[in-house]
Structure formats: C-alpha cells, structure tokens
Amino acid sequence: MEKGTTNGEAGAGPARRRKRRGRRGTRGRGGAGGDAFGAIDLGTNNCRLLVARSTPSGFRVVDAFSKVVQLGEGLAGTRTLSEPAMRRTLDALGACAAKLRRRRVKRVRAVATEACRRANNADQFVARVKRETGLELEIIGPAEEARLAIAGCLPLIDRRADRALIFDIGGGSTQIAWIALDADRQGPPKVLGAHSVPLGVVGVSELLDSSTEPARLRAEIEDVLAVSLGRFCAIQNIREEVDAGRVQMIGASGTVTTLGGIAQGLERYDRARVDGAWLDFAAIERISGELAALDPAARAAHPCVGRDRSDLVLAGCLILRAICRQWPIGRLRVADRGLREGILLDLMARASAL
C-alpha cells in the first residue's frame, strides 16, 4: 500500500527533512529474542527498508532507509519498467542489501506492489534484483498488501469503534480495507473487504502533467474515483455504518502525513507528533486548497512537502478528498506506518511459532 513516510504512498524523500525518533512496535511477540528482522517495501515511487529487533512489547527499529526511485515512471503509458527506473531501484535495493548484511539480518521479506504488478517485464526485473543484489523480491497482490498494512496500523485502531476504513494512497494505486472488530474487542480485526483503485499519486500526477486540459481531466479522475469507491461502498454497505457513527478512518500515506504535519504547523516533519494524530476533513479541504494555490517552487520549499513531492502531493490531495467525500466521517487518524511494520510483525510472529 503510499505510507518516505514509513508508510505507503510515495513516501517522503530526503528533501522533507523529517525529524525521526526511535520507533517501537506495540504488539508483543515472544520467542524471537533479539534477532534482527528486515522488511523492504518497493512501491511505485519509493524503496523503503526497516530493520528491527524483537522486544517484549513488539519491536525496536535499529536501521531504516528510504529513497525515491520512481520505479513506475512512465508505466501508465508503456506498461514496462524503464531501464533508468530499474537502475535507480537496483541501486537503492543494493543499499538495502548492504544494510541487511551489516546488521546480519537473517529473516527478510522484500515485497513489490503496484508497479511490478502492472509491468510486463516484472519477472525479468525480479530476476535481475536477485542477480545484482541477492534479494528475493516478492510481488504481492492487493489482498496481501492490505493484510500487511492492516497489521502495521493495528495499534491505531480505536477499540471502541465497530468498523474501520484503512486506506493507503500509493504511487500506482490506492488500497482500501474495510474491517470489523470482534465483539469483545480483544482479538484481531476481521477483514470484511478490500478494494484496489488503480490510481495513485504518480499515475495521476503524470496524467495531469501531460494533459492540455488539466481541469477537465481532474474532473474525470474525480468521477472515476467516485464510481470505484461508490461500488465498493455499496457492496460492503459501508455508508450505513458511517451514518450510524460506528466507523473510524485511518490514512496511511505520504499525502496524509504531509497534511498532518502542515495542520499542526510543524517547522519540519516530526513523525512522533504526526503518527497517530487526528486530522479533520475541514483541514484537509483547507490545506489542499492552500497547496494548490502555491507555485511549484513554493510547494517544494515547504518543510513538510519537499522537492520530491511538490507535485505528487496535489495528486494525493485529489484522491484523498474523493475518499473523504465518499465517507464523510469528519476526521481520520494519521498513520506514519503500514506495510513495512506489518511485514516485521508477521516475520516475528512466524519466528516465535517455530
């Protein structure tokens, strides 16, 4: 699923000058001791790594890496991963592999999402990754992506809610999961449905940049989103639960974390203050309009945006606003976490079961 926000979407590059603090998982896992685990999330725009050690209360991150690689650059028109994009990605994956070796990580899972799902030459790229970096890259489907993202975001779910909508605006797609909490609120949530919209920040941004009529195209994209989200909403009867006030929304994407930082007036991005914060829909509308009114240079200079995401954030806001219109819950919880954290928890659970 977007979360260099440590979550899914096109994440934040170095230009965002993020202030990071030690990250800890919050779900206890026994039996794995102090072993190191590695999780790599290769998306349409970002390559991200987390290395963590198991602790009694969950895990402690000991190393991390995030690089904007734009693997999906031009993919919408060609359905082929370009040589420059693959080269950038291989370099980033090589850096990840070096960190894993340095940390002597034995248990690693490296996953690729929408860009590799769509590319005609994905199998050749996976083979090349293995040959050049030694990493076993696994292309996962939307259902597995949703499962892992839910696991990563689980600590942010309000156990008083009956249902939750968790979404991640990625570079090449937007993933949405509809989940139910069990009656006693103690067990893991049940996934009632998952939906993948083949529109993400990179694809939408490229479409808008190449259009001679961006306003008309923007309206068409909004219509496509409304139809796709509306169909999922009707199948799952989500609106009835929303209207009854029984639903919590969690957004795990770079767009959401960016807006979360701006809403708090941060001078620079601070994960400790953004992850888990609440963001009102009114603030989303206001900040989206403010960002759209800035020229590219001014957006790039914003401390919570940065050069790598100055255009992508506008595409992300378009998708985010469509989600908010479809399900007018009023506010969402910001998640600077997601797929990588879910992978780590999954690996630790498997290790503890051995």
Q: Same domain for 41 and 130?
A: yes
Q: Give the DSSP letter of residue 39.
A: E
Residue 222 lies in a domain: yes
Q: Same domain for 344 and 206?
A: no
Does residue 239 contact residue 233 with C-beta atoms inside 8 Å? yes
Q: Same domain for 132 and 162?
A: no
Distance CA 148, CA 325 (A): 26
Element (DSSP H or E) covering residue 347? helix 339-353
Distance CA 1, CA 9 (A): 7
Number of domains in the chain: 2
Q: Same domain for 256 and 185?
A: yes
State residue 214's pLDDT score: 87
Maximum pairwise Cα distance, the chain: 58
Q: Same domain for 322 and 173?
A: yes
With CA atoms as reference, report the closest residue to 351 among 136, 54, 60. 54
Reduced to 3 states (helix: H, G, I; strand: E, B; else coil), residue 148 is helix
Distance CA 305, CA 310 (A): 6
Q: Same domain for 319 and 271?
A: yes
Other Cβ atoms less than 10 A from the Cβ of 177: the count is: 26
CA 316 to chain centre: 11
The CATH code of the domain that includes 53 is 3.30.420.40
Q: Same domain for 195 and 308?
A: yes
Q: Same domain for 243 and 223?
A: yes
Residue 4 lies in a domain: no
State residue 315's pLDDT score: 96
Q: Give the DSSP letter of residue 187.
A: S
Q: Same domain for 260 and 321?
A: yes
Q: Which structural domain range is residue 271 located in?
A: 155-334
Reduced to 3 states (helix: H, G, I; strand: E, B; else coil), residue 160 is coil
Element (DSSP H or E) covering residue 278? strand 278-280
Burial class of 198 by CB neighbour count within 10 A (0 to 12, 13 to 18, 19+): middle
Q: Same domain for 95 and 168?
A: no
CA 3 to chain centre: 2
State residue 274's pLDDT score: 96
Residue 146 makes CB contacts below 8 A (sequence gap 6+) with 1, 166, 175, 176, 177, 191, 194
Q: Same domain for 165 and 116?
A: no
Convert the pLDDT of each residue in 280-327 to its tens digit: 999 999 999 999 999 999 999 999 998 888 889 999 999 999 999 999
Residue 150 lies in a domain: no
Residue 6 lies in a domain: no
Element (DSSP H or E) covering residue 51? strand 46-55
HSE at residue 299, side-chain half, CA atoms within 13 A, is 20
Ordered DSSP codes for 291-335 = HHHS-HHHHHHSTTT-GGGTTHHHHHHHHHHHHHHHS--SEEEE-
With CA atoms as reference, report the closest residue to 169 among 299, 341, 5, 344. 5
In the chain, which residues have pLDDT < 70?
A: 1-33, 183-186
Other Cβ atoms less than 10 A from the Cβ of 344: the count is: 28
State residue 228's pLDDT score: 98
State residue 33's pLDDT score: 52
Residue 296 makes CB contacts below 8 A (sequence gap 6+) with 310, 311
Convert the pLDDT of each residue in 320-348 to its tens digit: 999 999 999 999 999 999 999 999 999 99
State residue 340's pLDDT score: 95
Other Cβ atoms less than 10 A from the Cβ of 247: the count is: 19
Residue 5 lies in a domain: no
With CA atoms as reference, report the closest residue to 114 among 10, 1, 11, 225. 1
Q: What is the C-alpha end-to-end distance of the chain, expressed in Å?
A: 28
Q: Same domain for 73 and 222?
A: no
With CA atoms as reference, report the closest residue to 113 among 76, 143, 152. 143
